[in-house]
Amino acid sequence: MSIFPIVTYDHSGLRTPAEPIPENNDGLPEFIDNLFDTMHQAGGVGLAAPQVGIPLQLFVVDADIMTEEEDGTKHGPGVFINPEVTPVGDEEWDAEEGCLSLPDVREKVTRPYRIKIRYFDREFQVREEEHEGWYARVLQHEFDHLKGVLFIDYLGSFRKRLLRGKLQNIIDGKVETEYLVVAKNADR
């Protein structure tokens, strides 16, 4: 078991579009286990490979703790390789999001309510599913990480301006976390 440090705001790893993963990738099962360990240790419900500085199209999710409380649904742990997410219908909704790479930042984000996701699972079997509500939100948030997108990118300029101080604190490594992080300007 290895725990990776999580890269935080302004780290170039969060802005680098991730590469597709070829089938028969030897190190993949171990990497996936380590991603789960890192996510669980950090108390997150989702973690994308770019958040540990690895630019691959892969994220893991274990969101039952959130979805059961928020809308009473259970999904179990999921591994999503080379995913593609597309909205289904026009319905959108707002909810507050956070991110292990943006400690202390929580903001309301508008997203499609229902999505379709096509991906390869841990056994590299192709799957296609539709999800809605909180689980769909988590999947969209993680999918964004594979494109170098953060949830704060959806905020208006006024909200972004209010966040400047918090973001600078993250860059400077001044935010306390209960998990290992890599801050861009911190002396570690």
| Residues in touch with Zn ion (CB under 5 A) | 99
Instruction: Tell me the closest approach of the beta carbon of residue 123 to Zn ion, in angstroms.
Output: 26
Instruction: Tell me the closest approach of the beta carbon of residue 71 to Zn ion, in angstroms.
Output: 20
For residue 128, list its beta bridge partners: 118
CB nearer to Zn ion: pick between 52 and 99: 99
Under DSSP, is residue 155 helix (H, G, I), strand (E, B) or coil?
coil
State the catalytic residue, choosing from 69, 142, 176, 178.
142
Chain position whose Cβ is nearest to Zn ion: 99
- List of residues 6+ apart from 39 with CB closer than 8 A: 45, 46, 47, 60, 62, 100
Q: Which of 42, 26, 33 is nearest to 60 (CA)?
A: 33
CB nearer to Zn ion: pick between 85 and 99: 99
What DSSP state is assigned to residue 175?
A: S
CB nearer to Zn ion: pick between 112 and 125: 112
Instruction: Tell me the closest approach of the beta carbon of residue 99 to Zn ion, in angstroms.
Output: 3
| Rounded Cα–Cα distance for residues 3 and 7 (Å) | 13
142 is an active site residue: yes
Active site residues: 142
